[in-house]
């Protein structure tokens, strides 16, 4: 029986401002990526999110982004040097590790957020700097990489354990990259369509591009979004579809 991890970005509120529905999403995910205070989240929200994850038996990872609160880490910060990206990543991982230790839980993975991830998928310097920042803190941290992106090579070079990720609700180009959010059809919204697509991806080990091209991919985890309209409903339908297809969900195992 196939087993898949469902990962979700959580802890993206800030001070009194709420984003997403963390309580509902944590019931549906098997691992969560927690914002670390530079593009979203703060020490209290991190702690609350870690507590939620611990209570639910869900794996936690750091979700480092650019230092860009106002832009929610969705805008590239141009001109950073590799060492600056490494420091940025290390800082955020460490902050979450300490909060997790205080809560009696443990950070097991790292996934880059927003623009930091998008830039790294196409820019080797950024991809390697992220991988090096993770490795410099703890070489046993699992690096969650977008399947088929430059993050894969960066993780391999740093010799980090990796899990390969696909997006449940995003369209893919023929080269296996994500369709830019600025293009129409980049994000899928229909719960049934998303669910069928994910089940097929997992059964076939392939992703269908916007032109219908089938792209082989290693798939260890599926990203489900928590901050879009209907997110909770989509995740519920997906969980049911996976169960119907006899695909179990569980936190990813450490992988090479």
Phi, psi angle pair for 2, to nearest 5°: -70, 145
C-alpha separations of 83 from 2, 138, 244 in Å = 40, 17, 47
Rg over CA atoms, the chain: 17
Binding pattern for the stretch 183-202 against a copy of itself, x by CB under 8 A and - elsewhere: --------------------
Place of tokens 């996976």: 242
Report the residue from 49, 97, 148, 149 that binds a copy of itself according to the rule CB under 8 A: 97
**Shortest distance, position 49 Cβ to a copy of itself, whole Å:** 11
Binding residues for a copy of itself, rule CB under 8 A, total: 45
Query: In sequence order, what are the residues at sequence separation of 6 or more whose Cβ sits closer than 8 angstroms to the Cβ of residue 213?
Result: 174
Determine, following the binding rule CB under 8 A, whether residue 93 of this chain makes contact with a copy of itself: yes
Determine, following the binding rule CB under 8 A, whether residue 17 of this chain makes contact with a copy of itself: yes
For a copy of itself, the binding residues in 25-84 under the rule CB under 8 A are 37, 42-44, 46-47, 67, 69-72, 74-79, 83-84
Instruction: Quote the CA–CA distance of 247 and 52 in Å, as a whole number.
Output: 25
In the bound state with a copy of itself, the residue whose beta carbon lies nearer, of 136 and 247, is 136
Report the residue from 24, 136, 208, 245 that binds a copy of itself according to the rule CB under 8 A: 136
Instruction: Quote the CA–CA distance of 206 and 147 in Å, as a whole number.
Output: 11
Place of tokens 């994910």: 198
Instruction: Quote the CA–CA distance of 79 and 65 in Å, as a whole number.
Output: 15
Chain contacts with a copy of itself (rule: CB under 8 A): 13-19, 37, 42-44, 46-47, 67, 69-72, 74-79, 83-84, 86-88, 90-99, 101-102, 133, 136-138
């Amino acid at each position: 029986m196939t087993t898949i991890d469902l990962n979700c970005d959580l802890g993206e509120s800030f001070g009194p401002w709420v984003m997403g529905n963390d309580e509902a999403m944590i019931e549906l995910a098997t691992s969560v990526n927690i914002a670390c205070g530079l593009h979203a989240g703060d020490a209290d929200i991190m702690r609350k999110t870690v507590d939620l994850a611990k209570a639910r038996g869900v794996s936690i990872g750091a979700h480092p982004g650019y230092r860009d609160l106002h832009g929610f880490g969705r805008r590239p910060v141009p001109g950073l040097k590799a060492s600056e990206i490494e420091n940025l990543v290390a800082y955020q991982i460490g902050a979450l590790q300490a909060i997790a230790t205080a809560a009696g839980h443990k950070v097991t993975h790292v996934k880059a957020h927003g623009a930091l991830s998008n830039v790294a998928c196409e820019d080797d310097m950024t991809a390697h700097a992220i991988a090096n920042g993770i490795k410099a803190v703890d070489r046993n941290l699992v690096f969650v990489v977008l399947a088929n992106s430059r993050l894969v090579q960066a993780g391999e070079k740093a010799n980090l354990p990796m899990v390969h990720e696909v997006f449940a609700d995003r369209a893919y180009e023929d080269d296996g990259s994500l369709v830019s959010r600025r293009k129409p059809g980049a994000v899928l919204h229909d719960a049934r369509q998303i669910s069928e697509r994910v089940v097929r991806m997992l059964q076939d080990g392939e992703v269908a591009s916007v032109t219908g091209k089938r792209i082989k991919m290693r798939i260890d985890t599926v990203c489900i979004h928590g901050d879009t309209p209907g997110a909770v409903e989509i995740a519920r339908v997906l969980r049911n579809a996976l169960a119907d297809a006899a695909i179990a969900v569980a936190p990813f195992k450490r992988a090479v």
